[in-house]
Amino acid sequence: VKLWHCADTRSFRVLWALEEIGLSYDIELMPFPPRAKVPGYLEINPLGTVPTFNDGLVTMTESSAIVHYLGTKYPDSGLAILPADPAYAEWLNWMYLSDATLTFPQTIVLRYGTFEPGRASNAADDYARWFLSRLKHVERKVSQADWLCGDRFTGADITVGYALLLASYLKLDARFPDAVSAYWARLKDRTAFQAAKKVQLIELAELLGTA
């Protein structure tokens, strides 16, 4: 399989899942935004976004859907909760919530708080508050259990966990409720999370010619 990736963007979900599964993969680490900085990338993905993921004849561009795909393709990884399991519906709900509900308001904060500061600061502040209030659902769950569903770590913890990574990049982590901070610490402690972070650094050093 091959992953087109930019450090700490949504494609980190896929990189982390690949490391959890222990699959070998090719990775193309690109400068952000690849739409503008990587000639030819629009041929691969007309939106210019990351991730782009290729598995033989299959190409996908939605990070949480790719984690879903990998989890069901490699069921022994435990990343997916399958339809026969009573926790299946809850798992799917977290998988969709991860991008549609959690990452969406963060995108506004990223754009107007980091990339284009001063253009719509009110929007950045409002959406930061909106994102933090949307964590209530996560807070309730992780105050009662270590992981989101099925009494074990799954792909839902990867997809939702990425929203916490992006929040820490946006310096919103200091405002996490205590139970969410503890959950975020558990996620960062995973061997595969750390391996994915390390792969990014190695690839970055190669990109900069300093390896």
Ligand X SMILES: N[C@@H](CCC(=O)N[C@@H](CS)C(=O)NCC(=O)O)C(=O)O
In the complex, the residues that contact ligand X under the rule CB under 6 A are 9-10, 33, 35, 48-51, 62-64, 99
- Closest contact distance (angstroms) between CB of 179 and ligand X is 25
The DSSP call for residue 1 is -
Both tokens assigned to 98: 């991860």
Instruction: Considering the complex, state which of residue 49 and residue 154 has its C-beta at the smaller distance from ligand X.
Output: 49
Query: How many CB atoms are closer than 10 A to CB 56?
Result: 7
Instruction: Considering the complex, state which of residue 108 and residue 179 has its C-beta at the smaller distance from ligand X.
Output: 108
- Closest contact distance (angstroms) between CB of 159 and ligand X is 9
Beta bridge partners of 98: none
Separation in Å, CA 22 to CA 15, 65, 70, 193: 10, 19, 11, 12
- Closest contact distance (angstroms) between CB of 24 and ligand X is 22
- Closest contact distance (angstroms) between CB of 184 and ligand X is 18
Give CA–CA dist 55/163, Å, rounded. Answer: 25
Contact 15, 104 (CB under 8 A): no
Instruction: Considering the complex, state which of residue 63 and residue 154 has its C-beta at the smaller distance from ligand X.
Output: 63
- Closest contact distance (angstroms) between CB of 86 and ligand X is 27
Instruction: Considering the complex, state which of residue 63 and residue 200 has its C-beta at the smaller distance from ligand X.
Output: 63
Instruction: Considering the complex, state which of residue 42 and residue 145 has its C-beta at the smaller distance from ligand X.
Output: 42
Nearest one of 30, 25, 24 to 7, comparing CA atoms = 30
